[in-house]
Amino acid sequence: MAAAPEAQVLLLALEELRRAFGDRAAPGTDPRSDTGPFRAFRAALLEAAAGCARGEARLSVWWEGTFNGYALALEVVPGAALPGLAPALAAVCPVEAVRTALPRPDALPLALVGPGAARLLADEAGARVELPFGAPTGHFGAPGVLRVKA
């Protein structure tokens, strides 16, 4: 049996994502369901990933953390397909940490990226995952996950 390809996991602090993309929120909308900031981040991420891709990679996401602080975990499988993603992404939003790991089986699908191109992926139910960043203050509990029909 072939070994699973090694994944690269980049962590982006929720507060930094809010700082970089929070102005993309629609006025008067509930920040727990407004995915405008996430969509702006996703567009910048996919542009950076496609620009540094040396092969095809699958991007997946999930939230990590506790009430003391959350980070968006971005998984790249195989990690070697996107050399230079961390510095390219740091120009958009600071990268808090980078680690290698085995691919996470419960990661939420985001996109398939290759040199110069990216395509959004849907989950097993045919929905795309979007992650609202929530309110910068007064938001208790984990940031959200929304599934939007593709």
pLDDT per residue, tens digit, the chain (150 aa), is 566 679 999 999 999 999 999 889 888 888 878 899 999 999 999 999 999 999 999 999 999 987 678 999 999 999 999 999 999 999 999 999 999 999 999 999 999 999 999 999 999 999 999 999 877 655 555 578 878 886
Identify the bridge partners of residue 113 per DSSP, sorted by sequence position.
Answer: 57, 118
Q: What does the block give as tokens for 68?
A: 């003391």
Q: Is the pTM of this model over 0.75?
A: yes
Angle value at C-alpha 110, between 100 and 90, nearest 5 degrees: 55
Single out the residue of 83, 95, 107, 92 nearest to residue 45, CA to CA: 92
DSSP 8-state symbol, 93: S
In this structure, how many other beta carbons lie within 10 angstroms of the beta carbon of residue 124?
6
